[in-house]
């Protein structure tokens, strides 16, 4: 992937002016000038190499669905060296791929859903992110030029800008634009998908617009979660031998009948009476009981009989407690691809995904608990304003699990002391089978009534796992990352 710097002002102007005439999604006109220049300015102002502005405009018009409002031109101008030589292949291989690519369609949907006072700016920043990721994946040329040149064009009349661009074709198409479009066409034929799934999620959760540190952490958590999940068995794991379970009360709403009517009997309620039995009824003007009355008294009427089996829906609560000393896990070991805290969050994310998939018939609640002095004791906390050690990790959890938080399967809480945590575990255990996983750099001595407490101790690059006061479980792995994968699988075996 090469980057060319245009030092001559005339070359940089021709690169921009001619690029405006190379749009294909929407016919180039004065109405498209301002939006195309604003998108290009967002890219150049962030220090990114700028692809041809016509390519940027095509991505922007399609991603934001602006092509649906455009009108077909009465006549199409033929651009020398472009219309007949490059444009047909560009439409087939590049635009055709973008139209059919599901990742770009999802990314465009994410941009169009942006709301708020800064939604237009966020859309420009999101589009700049899309262009950057496509260019990184395609490895084609970009140009560095002064952003002030684009700002100057924005101050001109769009008609004058388009006229200057058309006049620049008197000397033919710039060789740089010709070569760059050839690279874009070749890159599109190499790429299976124009964006990665992590890119799409970053746009949907708006971390692509966040500060670089938070964006990188979000992306690393998703990537490491995918790596851990890929190494786990696809089928439901077998329960660990000798695991512990605590019986709890079965509430009436936890059971309900399953199956339909399975047979016919002579006993039942009037609602399940066979309709054919109504034929025994006689008109009301009869002098005595009719045949229906006699059969009813003799229990000779037929009723549908329901299968009386009961389905038990287990209530299960999983508490993921982030201990304050977990801030020390912001450390990258030489044999790990990222920091320990990133792997910890990725492990918790995989647990939520796998348990939701494998125990889909159970009533599950995943509760993330931030424990630390001075925090409010709110059992439904989604925003913490007080400064605390794990503030950035807490914001990251809210972003990654936003959908689960909205549908109620994930709950966020904050508890000030260990005693408050013990009391909260007891409250949860009254109505469900409760597991409490404490993640910290040191093992925490905690015993809660009717609650199974697991300790995930992250004192080194290879975490240890123990249950209640028992010694740590034996977990093997050829390398540190495999050790994390095996730890995740061991937890799943404990909980299934």
* For residue 395, pLDDT beyond 60: yes
3-class DSSP state of 210: coil
Tokens (6 digits) for 81:
């060296």
Q: Which residue has the tokens 């690029």?
A: 19
* For residue 352, pLDDT beyond 90: yes
Alpha-carbon distance of 234 to 430, in angstroms, equals 33
pTM score: 0.68
Model confidence band, residue 356 (pLDDT cutoffs 50, 70, 90): very high
Strand-strand pairing, 433-440 and 451-457: parallel
Longest CA span, the chain: 113
Alpha-carbon distance of 413 to 125, in angstroms, equals 33
User: Domain locations in the chain?
Assistant: 3-209, 221-247+313-495, 259-308
Highest mean pLDDT among 42-46, 301-305, 344-348, 368-372: 344-348
Alpha-carbon distance of 267 to 253, in angstroms, equals 27
Q: What is the pLDDT of residue 440?
A: 92
Residue 90 per-residue DSSP state: I
Average pLDDT score over the chain = 86
Tokens (6 digits) for 372:
């630390």
Residue 93 per-residue DSSP state: I
Q: What is the pLDDT of residue 387?
A: 47
Distances (CA, A) of 276 to 268, 280, 303, 307: 15, 8, 10, 21
| DSSP calls for 426-478 | HHHHTTSEEEEEEEESS------TTEEEEEEE-SSSS-EEEETTSPPPP---S
- CB count within 10 Å of CB 200 equals 22
Nearest CA to 438 out of 469, 402, 410 is that of 469
Per-residue pLDDT of 432-455, as tens digits, reads: 889 999 999 998 888 888 899 999
Model confidence band, residue 73 (pLDDT cutoffs 50, 70, 90): low
φ and ψ at 391, to 5 degrees? -60, -45
């Amino acid at each position: 992937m090469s980057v060319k710097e245009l030092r001559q002002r005339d070359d940089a102007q021709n690169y921009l002016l001619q690029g405006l005439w190379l749009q294909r999604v929407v016919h180039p006109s004065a109405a498209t000038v301002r939006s195309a220049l604003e998108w290009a300015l967002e890219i150049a102002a962030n220090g990114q190499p700028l692809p041809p502005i016509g390519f940027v405009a095509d991505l922007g018009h399609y991603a934001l669905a602006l092509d649906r409002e455009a009108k077909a031109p009465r006549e199409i101008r033929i651009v020398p060296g472009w219309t007949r030589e490059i444009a047909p292949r560009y439409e087939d291989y590049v635009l055709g791929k973008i139209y059919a690519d599901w990742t770009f369609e999802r990314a465009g949907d994410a941009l169009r859903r942006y709301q708020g006072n800064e939604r237009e700016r966020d859309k420009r920043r999101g589009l700049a992110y899309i262009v950057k990721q496509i260019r990184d994946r395609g490895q084609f040329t970009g140009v560095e030029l002064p952003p002030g040149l684009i700002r100057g064009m924005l101050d001109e009349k769009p008609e004058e800008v388009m006229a200057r661009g058309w006049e620049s074709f008197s000397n033919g198409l710039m060789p740089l634009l010709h070569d760059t479009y050839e690279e874009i066409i070749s890159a599109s034929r190499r790429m299976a998908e124009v964006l990665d799934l992590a890119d799409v999620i970053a746009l949907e959760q708006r971390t692509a617009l966040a500060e670089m540190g938070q964006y990188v952490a979000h992306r690393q958590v998703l990537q490491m979660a995918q790596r851990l999940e890929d190494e786990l068995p696809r089928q439901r794991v077998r329960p660990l031998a000798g695991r512990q379970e605590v019986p709890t009360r079965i509430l009436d709403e936890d059971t309900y009948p399953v199956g339909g009517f399975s047979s016919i009997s002579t006993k039942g309620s009037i609602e399940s009476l066979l309709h054919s039995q109504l034929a025994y009824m006689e008109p009301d003007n009869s002098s005595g009981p009719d045949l229906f009355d006699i059969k009813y008294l003799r229990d000779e009427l037929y009723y549908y009989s329901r299968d009386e089996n009961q389905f038990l829906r287990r209530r299960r609560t999983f508490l993921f407690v982030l201990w304050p000393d977990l801030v020390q896990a912001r450390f990258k070991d030489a044999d790990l691809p990222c920091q320990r805290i990133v792997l910890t969050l990725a492990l918790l994310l995989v647990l939520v995904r796998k348990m939701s998939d494998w125990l889909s018939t159970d009533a599950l609640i995943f509760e993330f608990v931030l424990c630390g002095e001075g925090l409010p004791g709110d059992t439904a906390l989604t925003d913490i304003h007080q400064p605390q050690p794990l503030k950035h990790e807490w914001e990251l959890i809210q972003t990654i699990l936003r959908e689960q938080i909205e549908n109620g399967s994930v709950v966020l809480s904050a508890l000030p002391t260990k005693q408050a945590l013990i009391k909260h575990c007891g409250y949860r255990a009254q109505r469900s089978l409760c597991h409490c996983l404490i993640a910290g750099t040191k093992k925490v001595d905690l015993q809660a009534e009717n609650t199974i407490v697991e300790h995930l101790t992250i004192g080194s690059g290879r975490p240890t796992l123990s249950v209640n006061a028992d010694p740590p479980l034996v977990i093997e792995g050829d390398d540190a990352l495999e050790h994390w994968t095996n730890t995740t699988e061991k937890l799943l075996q404990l909980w299934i």
